[in-house]
Structure 1
Amino acid sequence: MRKRLVNERKKRKLTQKQVAETLNISSIYVRKIEKGERNPGRETMLKFEKLYGIQDRILFEDLFQEHDDTKGIKSSSA
């Protein structure tokens, strides 16, 4: 769950339906984004950023985390 996203909505006393109408997306999509079941596209992230006045990197922190994908790679010796 994207707690920051949910908290910002609740802090403003908005329903998922109201957010959806404001952003011109479906309320089901808002619910799935908040639960972390779907990842928004760049345009949708910017809509949330504008609505809440908070950077997308903060609202969608999980999408901007750096991952070290090389941990599991073993170097091969020739």
Structure 2
Amino acid sequence: MKRIDLINERSKRQLSREEVGKALGISTIYVRKIENGERNPGRETMVKFAEFYEVSERRLFPDLFDITIENNIEID
């Protein structure tokens, strides 16, 4: 699942993936994989993106914060 807000934040600043990667200290390929949802960033990298774009981690990575609660679970 593509992370649309993450891609949009980079695009609206007219930055290339290479520029973002250099600013965050990660590879261009890793930026692409994170944006496309092919890889999940670690906590530190997620924070770097959020601080760089000045946007919350929850907005940039909604798929990582989506909690699904299944029915019929008993908790003792």
Tell whether the structures are fold-level matches, with TM greater than 0.5: yes
> Quick one: distance in 2 between partners of 1:50 and 1:57?
12
Return closer, same or farther for 1:65/1:74 CA change in 2, 3 Å cut-off.
Answer: closer
Runs of 4 or more consecutive aligned structure 1 residues displaced over 6 Å after TM superposition: none
Q: Which amino acid aligns with 2:5?
A: R
TM-score, scaled relative to structure 2? 0.90
> Quick one: distance in 1 between partners of 2:42 and 2:73?
34
Tell me the matched-pair count. 73
> Quick one: distance in 2 between partners of 1:24 and 1:8?
18
Deviation by residue 1:38-76 (Cα, 9 ceiling, x = unmatched)? 0000000000001000010110001001112x34x688x
Return closer, same or farther for 1:29/1:66 CA change in 2, 3 Å cut-off.
Answer: same
Q: Which amino acid aligns with 1:46?
A: V
Aligned counterparts, 1:1-78, within 5 A: 1-68=2-69, 70-71=70-71
Identical-residue share of aligned pairs (%):
52
TM-score, scaled relative to structure 1? 0.88
Structure 2: give runs of 5+ residues left out of the alignment: none
Q: Give the greater-gyration-radius structure (CA).
A: 1
Structure 1: give runs of 5+ residues left out of the alignment: none
What's the C-alpha RMSD, in Å, of the aligned pairs?
1.4
SS state at 2:38 partner: coil
Structure with higher RCO (Cα < 8 A, 6+ apart): 2
